[in-house]
Amino acid sequence: MQLIDGLAISKIIKEELKVEVQKRTSQGFKRPHLAAVLVGSNGASVTYVNAKVKACEEVGFDSTLVQLSEDATETEIIEAINGLNNNSNIDGYIVQLPLPKHINEKKVLQTIDASKDVDGFHPTCLGKMMLGLPTFLPATPMGIITLLERSNIETKGKHAVVIGRSHIVGLPVSVLLQRNHPFGNCTVTLCHSHTKNLEEICMQADIIVAAVGIPEFVKGSMVKNGAVVIDVGITRVQDDSKKSGFRLLGDVEFATASEKASFITPVPGGVGPMTIVSLMQNTLLAAEGKLAN
Protein backbone atom coordinates (compact mmCIF):
# COMPACT_ATOMS: atom_id res chain seq x y z
CA MET A 1 0.00 0.00 0.00
CA GLN A 2 1.22 3.46 -0.93
CA LEU A 3 -0.06 6.59 0.78
CA ILE A 4 -1.17 9.41 -1.52
CA ASP A 5 0.23 12.37 0.39
CA GLY A 6 -1.98 15.31 -0.56
CA LEU A 7 -0.14 17.59 1.85
CA ALA A 8 3.22 16.93 0.18
CA ILE A 9 1.78 17.28 -3.33
CA SER A 10 0.00 20.51 -2.42
CA LYS A 11 3.27 21.97 -1.11
CA ILE A 12 4.94 21.26 -4.47
CA ILE A 13 2.09 22.98 -6.33
CA LYS A 14 2.22 25.95 -3.95
CA GLU A 15 5.90 26.39 -4.78
CA GLU A 16 5.03 26.30 -8.49
CA LEU A 17 2.32 28.93 -7.92
CA LYS A 18 4.72 31.08 -5.91
CA VAL A 19 7.15 31.13 -8.85
CA GLU A 20 4.33 32.12 -11.24
CA VAL A 21 3.24 34.95 -8.94
CA GLN A 22 6.80 36.23 -8.73
CA LYS A 23 6.99 36.23 -12.54
CA ARG A 24 3.74 38.20 -12.75
CA THR A 25 4.74 40.82 -10.22
CA SER A 26 8.20 41.22 -11.79
CA GLN A 27 6.41 42.08 -15.04
CA GLY A 28 4.34 44.74 -13.31
CA PHE A 29 1.11 42.79 -12.86
CA LYS A 30 -0.75 42.85 -9.56
CA ARG A 31 -0.81 39.88 -7.21
CA PRO A 32 -3.78 37.51 -7.63
CA HIS A 33 -6.53 38.30 -5.12
CA LEU A 34 -8.80 35.63 -3.59
CA ALA A 35 -11.75 36.53 -1.36
CA ALA A 36 -13.95 34.34 0.83
CA VAL A 37 -17.45 34.94 2.17
CA LEU A 38 -18.00 33.25 5.54
CA VAL A 39 -21.46 33.29 7.12
CA GLY A 40 -21.55 32.35 10.81
CA SER A 41 -18.89 30.68 12.94
CA ASN A 42 -19.11 26.99 12.09
CA GLY A 43 -15.89 25.49 13.46
CA ALA A 44 -15.00 23.44 10.40
CA SER A 45 -15.77 26.33 8.04
CA VAL A 46 -13.69 28.80 10.06
CA THR A 47 -10.75 26.36 10.09
CA TYR A 48 -11.06 25.82 6.35
CA VAL A 49 -11.26 29.52 5.51
CA ASN A 50 -8.26 30.27 7.74
CA ALA A 51 -6.33 27.59 5.86
CA LYS A 52 -7.18 29.31 2.58
CA VAL A 53 -5.99 32.66 3.93
CA LYS A 54 -2.72 31.05 5.06
CA ALA A 55 -2.28 29.40 1.64
CA CYS A 56 -2.71 32.79 -0.05
CA GLU A 57 0.09 34.21 2.09
CA GLU A 58 2.35 31.26 1.24
CA VAL A 59 2.04 31.66 -2.53
CA GLY A 60 1.99 35.46 -2.60
CA PHE A 61 -1.72 36.10 -3.21
CA ASP A 62 -3.71 38.87 -1.63
CA SER A 63 -6.75 37.69 0.32
CA THR A 64 -9.92 39.23 1.72
CA LEU A 65 -12.34 37.71 4.22
CA VAL A 66 -15.94 38.92 4.22
CA GLN A 67 -17.47 37.64 7.46
CA LEU A 68 -21.19 37.85 8.17
CA SER A 69 -23.14 36.81 11.25
CA GLU A 70 -25.04 33.52 11.54
CA ASP A 71 -28.35 35.40 11.35
CA ALA A 72 -27.39 37.42 8.26
CA THR A 73 -30.28 37.71 5.83
CA GLU A 74 -30.21 36.38 2.29
CA THR A 75 -30.32 39.97 1.07
CA GLU A 76 -27.23 40.86 3.11
CA ILE A 77 -25.31 37.88 1.73
CA ILE A 78 -26.28 38.70 -1.85
CA GLU A 79 -25.26 42.34 -1.31
CA ALA A 80 -21.83 41.15 -0.13
CA ILE A 81 -21.52 38.92 -3.20
CA ASN A 82 -22.52 41.74 -5.55
CA GLY A 83 -19.83 43.86 -3.91
CA LEU A 84 -17.24 41.26 -4.85
CA ASN A 85 -18.71 40.89 -8.34
CA ASN A 86 -18.22 44.63 -8.91
CA ASN A 87 -14.79 44.88 -7.29
CA SER A 88 -12.23 44.78 -10.11
CA ASN A 89 -9.45 44.15 -7.59
CA ILE A 90 -10.92 40.74 -6.69
CA ASP A 91 -9.93 38.04 -9.20
CA GLY A 92 -11.88 35.20 -7.66
CA TYR A 93 -13.86 34.34 -4.55
CA ILE A 94 -15.67 31.55 -2.80
CA VAL A 95 -18.79 31.41 -0.65
CA GLN A 96 -18.00 28.98 2.15
CA LEU A 97 -20.53 26.17 2.43
CA PRO A 98 -22.68 25.09 4.14
CA LEU A 99 -24.75 28.24 4.57
CA PRO A 100 -27.21 28.62 7.48
CA LYS A 101 -30.46 26.72 6.97
CA HIS A 102 -32.56 29.86 6.47
CA ILE A 103 -30.55 30.75 3.35
CA ASN A 104 -31.43 29.51 -0.15
CA GLU A 105 -28.04 28.12 -1.12
CA LYS A 106 -28.89 27.69 -4.82
CA LYS A 107 -30.07 31.29 -5.11
CA VAL A 108 -26.90 32.57 -3.46
CA LEU A 109 -24.59 30.49 -5.68
CA GLN A 110 -26.34 31.74 -8.81
CA THR A 111 -25.58 35.31 -7.75
CA ILE A 112 -21.84 34.69 -8.04
CA ASP A 113 -20.16 36.09 -11.16
CA ALA A 114 -19.19 32.91 -13.03
CA SER A 115 -15.96 34.58 -14.21
CA LYS A 116 -14.90 34.84 -10.54
CA ASP A 117 -16.31 31.53 -9.30
CA VAL A 118 -13.03 29.77 -8.47
CA ASP A 119 -14.99 27.11 -6.54
CA GLY A 120 -16.64 26.10 -9.83
CA PHE A 121 -20.16 25.73 -8.39
CA HIS A 122 -22.01 28.22 -10.61
CA PRO A 123 -24.43 26.59 -13.10
CA THR A 124 -22.45 28.16 -15.95
CA CYS A 125 -19.22 26.52 -14.73
CA LEU A 126 -20.87 23.15 -14.17
CA GLY A 127 -22.63 23.31 -17.54
CA LYS A 128 -19.39 24.09 -19.37
CA MET A 129 -17.65 21.29 -17.51
CA MET A 130 -20.34 18.85 -18.67
CA LEU A 131 -19.80 19.98 -22.27
CA GLY A 132 -16.02 19.84 -22.03
CA LEU A 133 -15.66 23.60 -22.49
CA PRO A 134 -12.99 25.72 -20.76
CA THR A 135 -14.17 26.70 -17.28
CA PHE A 136 -13.21 26.70 -13.61
CA LEU A 137 -13.39 23.12 -12.40
CA PRO A 138 -14.90 22.46 -8.96
CA ALA A 139 -12.02 22.62 -6.50
CA THR A 140 -12.31 19.26 -4.73
CA PRO A 141 -12.89 17.16 -7.89
CA MET A 142 -10.07 19.07 -9.58
CA GLY A 143 -7.84 18.25 -6.60
CA ILE A 144 -8.74 14.56 -6.84
CA ILE A 145 -7.75 14.41 -10.51
CA THR A 146 -4.50 16.21 -9.70
CA LEU A 147 -3.76 13.65 -6.97
CA LEU A 148 -4.17 10.84 -9.51
CA GLU A 149 -2.03 12.69 -12.06
CA ARG A 150 0.79 13.60 -9.68
CA SER A 151 0.82 10.05 -8.30
CA ASN A 152 1.04 8.61 -11.85
CA ILE A 153 -2.02 6.44 -11.30
CA GLU A 154 -3.35 4.98 -14.54
CA THR A 155 -7.06 5.73 -15.10
CA LYS A 156 -7.63 4.84 -18.75
CA GLY A 157 -10.08 1.97 -19.06
CA LYS A 158 -10.39 1.58 -15.28
CA HIS A 159 -13.70 1.12 -13.46
CA ALA A 160 -14.22 4.01 -11.04
CA VAL A 161 -16.96 3.85 -8.41
CA VAL A 162 -18.00 7.20 -6.93
CA ILE A 163 -20.06 7.03 -3.73
CA GLY A 164 -22.05 10.25 -3.31
CA ARG A 165 -23.82 12.45 -5.86
CA SER A 166 -23.50 15.98 -4.49
CA HIS A 167 -22.96 18.84 -6.95
CA ILE A 168 -19.85 19.73 -4.94
CA VAL A 169 -17.94 16.45 -5.27
CA GLY A 170 -19.70 13.27 -6.39
CA LEU A 171 -21.40 14.37 -9.58
CA PRO A 172 -18.57 16.55 -10.96
CA VAL A 173 -15.80 14.07 -10.15
CA SER A 174 -17.78 11.35 -11.95
CA VAL A 175 -17.83 13.61 -15.02
CA LEU A 176 -14.12 14.37 -14.83
CA LEU A 177 -13.17 10.72 -14.43
CA GLN A 178 -15.05 9.69 -17.57
CA ARG A 179 -14.01 12.57 -19.85
CA ASN A 180 -11.54 12.04 -22.71
CA HIS A 181 -8.44 13.17 -20.82
CA PRO A 182 -5.07 11.61 -19.91
CA PHE A 183 -6.33 11.24 -16.33
CA GLY A 184 -9.90 10.36 -17.23
CA ASN A 185 -11.26 7.76 -19.64
CA CYS A 186 -12.70 5.67 -16.81
CA THR A 187 -15.91 3.71 -16.90
CA VAL A 188 -17.77 5.32 -14.00
CA THR A 189 -20.48 3.99 -11.71
CA LEU A 190 -22.10 6.72 -9.58
CA CYS A 191 -23.63 5.33 -6.38
CA HIS A 192 -25.85 6.95 -3.75
CA SER A 193 -28.17 6.18 -0.84
CA HIS A 194 -30.62 4.24 -3.02
CA THR A 195 -28.00 2.08 -4.77
CA LYS A 196 -28.58 -1.63 -4.28
CA ASN A 197 -25.74 -4.13 -3.81
CA LEU A 198 -23.27 -1.33 -3.06
CA GLU A 199 -20.63 -3.62 -1.60
CA GLU A 200 -20.77 -5.84 -4.68
CA ILE A 201 -20.36 -2.81 -6.97
CA CYS A 202 -17.44 -1.44 -4.93
CA MET A 203 -15.68 -4.80 -5.11
CA GLN A 204 -15.55 -4.36 -8.91
CA ALA A 205 -13.88 -0.95 -8.65
CA ASP A 206 -10.32 -0.20 -9.68
CA ILE A 207 -10.79 3.28 -8.18
CA ILE A 208 -13.14 4.19 -5.32
CA VAL A 209 -13.98 7.82 -4.55
CA ALA A 210 -15.81 7.99 -1.21
CA ALA A 211 -17.76 11.23 -0.82
CA VAL A 212 -20.80 10.15 1.15
CA GLY A 213 -20.23 12.13 4.37
CA ILE A 214 -20.56 9.14 6.72
CA PRO A 215 -17.52 8.34 8.89
CA GLU A 216 -15.82 5.03 8.01
CA PHE A 217 -18.66 4.05 5.67
CA VAL A 218 -16.36 2.21 3.25
CA LYS A 219 -14.95 -0.90 4.93
CA GLY A 220 -12.07 -3.04 3.80
CA SER A 221 -14.59 -5.71 2.80
CA MET A 222 -15.80 -3.31 0.07
CA VAL A 223 -12.33 -2.85 -1.46
CA LYS A 224 -10.81 -5.31 -3.91
CA ASN A 225 -7.11 -6.08 -3.73
CA GLY A 226 -5.05 -3.44 -5.53
CA ALA A 227 -7.79 -0.80 -5.78
CA VAL A 228 -7.07 2.93 -5.48
CA VAL A 229 -9.07 4.55 -2.67
CA ILE A 230 -9.72 8.30 -2.55
CA ASP A 231 -11.32 9.41 0.73
CA VAL A 232 -13.06 12.78 0.40
CA GLY A 233 -14.90 12.75 3.72
CA ILE A 234 -13.84 14.50 6.89
CA THR A 235 -16.02 14.43 9.99
CA ARG A 236 -15.32 15.63 13.53
CA VAL A 237 -16.06 12.83 15.99
CA GLN A 238 -16.04 13.44 19.74
CA ASP A 239 -12.95 12.03 21.43
CA ASP A 240 -12.32 13.11 25.02
CA SER A 241 -8.83 11.63 24.92
CA LYS A 242 -7.80 14.37 22.49
CA LYS A 243 -6.86 17.85 23.62
CA SER A 244 -9.20 19.28 20.98
CA GLY A 245 -12.04 17.06 22.20
CA PHE A 246 -12.49 15.46 18.79
CA ARG A 247 -10.75 13.43 16.10
CA LEU A 248 -11.14 13.53 12.34
CA LEU A 249 -12.48 10.55 10.43
CA GLY A 250 -12.85 10.03 6.72
CA ASP A 251 -15.54 8.15 4.81
CA VAL A 252 -13.19 5.15 4.59
CA GLU A 253 -12.23 2.83 7.42
CA PHE A 254 -8.53 3.36 6.86
CA ALA A 255 -7.26 0.48 9.00
CA THR A 256 -9.07 -2.20 7.00
CA ALA A 257 -9.12 -0.54 3.55
CA SER A 258 -5.39 0.20 3.58
CA GLU A 259 -4.65 -3.53 3.91
CA LYS A 260 -6.11 -4.12 0.44
CA ALA A 261 -5.60 -0.84 -1.45
CA SER A 262 -2.61 -0.20 -3.71
CA PHE A 263 -2.97 3.56 -3.13
CA ILE A 264 -5.03 5.36 -0.49
CA THR A 265 -5.45 8.92 0.76
CA PRO A 266 -5.22 9.66 4.49
CA VAL A 267 -7.60 11.86 6.50
CA PRO A 268 -6.49 14.48 7.22
CA GLY A 269 -3.73 15.26 4.73
CA GLY A 270 -5.18 13.72 1.59
CA VAL A 271 -7.86 15.45 -0.48
CA GLY A 272 -8.30 18.48 1.82
CA PRO A 273 -5.00 20.24 1.01
CA MET A 274 -5.64 19.62 -2.69
CA THR A 275 -8.99 21.40 -2.55
CA ILE A 276 -7.26 24.51 -1.22
CA VAL A 277 -4.43 24.40 -3.76
CA SER A 278 -6.98 23.92 -6.58
CA LEU A 279 -8.63 27.16 -5.48
CA MET A 280 -5.23 28.82 -5.74
CA GLN A 281 -4.75 27.43 -9.26
CA ASN A 282 -8.18 28.65 -10.35
CA THR A 283 -7.50 32.08 -8.86
CA LEU A 284 -4.28 32.39 -10.84
CA LEU A 285 -6.20 31.46 -13.99
CA ALA A 286 -8.76 34.12 -13.13
CA ALA A 287 -6.05 36.73 -12.59
CA GLU A 288 -4.53 35.84 -15.95
CA GLY A 289 -7.91 35.91 -17.66
CA LYS A 290 -7.64 32.21 -18.44
CA LEU A 291 -9.91 29.27 -17.72
CA ALA A 292 -9.08 25.64 -16.90
CA ASN A 293 -9.38 23.15 -19.76
Under 8 Å CB-to-CB from 229, ≥6 apart: which residues? 207, 208, 210, 218, 223, 252, 257, 258, 261, 263, 264, 265
Residue type, 137: L
Q: How far is CA 261 from CA 38, 276, 291, in A?
A: 37, 25, 34
Which candidate in 91, 96, 116, 206 is catalytic? 96
Express as a percent the part of the chain with pLDDT over 70.
99
Q: How far is CA 98 from CA 10, 50, 104, 108, 160, in A?
A: 24, 16, 11, 11, 27
Which candidate in 52, 116, 128, 158 is catalytic? 52
Containing domain of residue 157, as a range?
139-272
Average pLDDT of the segment spanning 83-94: 97
Reference 6, options 285, 251, 275, 280; nearest CA is: 275
In this prediction, residue 293 carries a pLDDT of 44
In a domain, 287, yes or no: no
In a domain, 1, yes or no: no
Total structural domains within the chain: 2
Q: Per-residue pLDDT tens for 89-139?
A: 999 999 998 899 999 999 999 999 999 999 999 999 999 999 999 999 999
Question: Do 45 and 157 belong to one domain?
Answer: no
Separation between Cα atoms, residue 293 and residue 276, nearest integer Å? 19
Provide the strand spans (E) within the chain.
2-3, 33-39, 62-68, 92-95, 159-163, 187-191, 207-210, 228-231, 235-238, 246-249, 263-264
Average pLDDT of the segment spanning 250-272: 97
Which candidate in 91, 117, 119, 231 is catalytic? 119
Specify whether 96 is catalytic: yes
Residue 245 half-sphere exposure toward CB, CA atoms < 13 A: 1
- Check which CATH number belongs to the domain holding 250 and give it: 3.40.50.720
In a domain, 153, yes or no: yes
In this prediction, residue 191 carries a pLDDT of 97
In this prediction, residue 203 carries a pLDDT of 98
Confidence of residue 57 (pLDDT cuts 50, 70, 90): very high
Rounded to 10 degrees, the C-alpha dihedral 210/214/220/226 comes to 10
* Contact of 190 with 170, CB cutoff 8 Å: yes
Question: Do 77 and 201 belong to one domain?
Answer: no
**pLDDT mean across residues, the chain:** 94
In a domain, 250, yes or no: yes
Q: Per-residue pLDDT tens for 138-189?
A: 999 999 999 999 999 999 999 999 999 999 999 999 999 999 999 999 999 9
In this prediction, residue 238 carries a pLDDT of 84
In a domain, 92, yes or no: yes
In a domain, 8, yes or no: no
Rounded to 10 degrees, the C-alpha dihedral 46/232/6/277 comes to -50
How many residues can be counted in the chain?
Answer: 293
Question: Do 85 and 153 belong to one domain?
Answer: no
